[in-house]
Amino acid sequence: MTALLEVEGLSKRFRGLRAVSNVGFAVPKGGIVALIGPNGAGKTTTFNLIAGVFPPNEGSVRLDGRPITGLKPHQVCAAGIGRTFQIVKPFGDLTVEENVVVGALARERSVDTARRIARGVLERLGLAEQSFRPARSLTLPDRKRLEVARALATRPTLLLLDEVLAGLRPTEVDRMVEVLRDLNRREGLTILMIEHVMRAVMALSDHVVVLDHGEKIAEGTPADVTADPRVIESYLGAESL
């Protein structure tokens, strides 16, 4: 399968601290890849390197064969990568729809077109009935969905999801899993996700990459990775056996 995202030899240091070291993996077009590992493993730093928050010390990132290493975040967004953030911070005084319109305007000049895009995204994510509520009034599950909606409004070919299931109850996790599965299967959206909810990782992902202390220690199918002794020792724990 053709790779949409190719990460090669990615490394990043902060004042001598090695956050990411020689990380490489690929995300196929139309696939769902999970990036997992313990806290502090370098997962979000890897996302930030892909999304242009800061440049890598070494390595490269290519999207659909085009180099995007070192681009600014707005340039990475324009190239086709949308992302969410681990800590959701909507514009609280704006309505739900206005928040998504802001996302759409990242690639649209017409406010009317951006509004049409926003309404379509909100409908897909089940937030249409809350369009005119202030974002600050939403529950955590709905703020999570709004975060995904803002990213989708940028019309990405690749969506980076940073722990969108964290803090959700099991029924809320199941609902979000169905939303993401639908986006992937019906619309062909490619997804790279950081996630700690392993049952969601097992249900959604085709391929899993495991980081620990900034290094890739394993990758493969969900079943293969969860049976890997290195992954069990560093992340899953003996109780997963």
Task: Report pLDDT for 7.
Answer: 98
The Cα–Cα gap between 52 and 75 comes to 8
Query: Residue 241: is its pLDDT beyond 80?
Result: no
- pTM comes to 0.93
- 94-130 residue pLDDT tens: 999 999 999 999 989 999 999 999 999 999 999 999 9
Domains of the chain: 3-80+156-240 (3.40.50.300), 90-153 (no CATH)
Q: How many helices (H) and strands (E) does the chain have?
A: 9, 10
Query: Which tops the pLDDT comparison, 206 or 239?
Result: 206
234 by DSSP, 3-state: which?
helix
Give percent above pLDDT 70 in the chain.
Answer: 98
202 by Cβ neighbours in 10 Å (0-12 / 13-18 / 19+) ranks as: middle
